[in-house]
Amino acid sequence: MHTGSCLCGQINYTIASDSGPIIYCHCKRCRKSSGSAFVTSMQIERADFKVTSGQDFIKIFHHDGGVDRAFCSNCGSQLFSTRAATPDLMRIRLGTFDSEVDSKVSSHIFVDSKAEWHDILDNAPQHAQRP
């Protein structure tokens, strides 16, 4: 079980599982949306995710290609993304977790579009695009 929240604290959520793969996504959209080198997410089953407060603050940005990105309309924290192609999965932004996470990165994806100013220095598997 995990708990998490956005920066302003209006949105709180729980995840009814202990772990899932931790993915670093280096695609350009993730870099833009985070303002950083990559987005770090834990992939979980949608059925395990529950918003416990602040549902009304959640705003969804719809990408072309069926990707939805959810963020707090008050503080701007990214919370999760979903893909129409995999409706049963969610990718929760790991930086919003309040509970401790004891696993490490599982893989890097979209390494082909990684920022040229960032070097990957761990030994996790790297995928040129989505594996």
Residues within the interface to Zn ion (CB under 5 A): 6, 8, 10, 25, 27, 30, 72, 74-75
Shortest Cβ distance from residue 37 to Zn ion (Å)? 11
Of the chain, the end-to-end C-alpha distance in Å amounts to 27
Closest to Zn ion by CB, 15 or 30: 30
Closest to Zn ion by CB, 18 or 125: 125
Supply angle C-alpha 73, 74, 76, rounded to 5. Answer: 65
Shortest Cβ distance from residue 49 to Zn ion (Å)? 17
Contacts of 38 (CB under 8 A, 6+ apart): 24, 25, 26, 30, 31, 108, 114, 115, 118
Closest to Zn ion by CB, 47 or 75: 75
Shortest Cβ distance from residue 6 to Zn ion (Å)? 3
Query: Could you give the 3-state DSSP secondary structure of residue 123?
Result: coil
Closest to Zn ion by CB, 19 or 113: 113
- In what helix (H) or strand (E) does residue 31 lie, and over which residues does it extend? helix 28-34
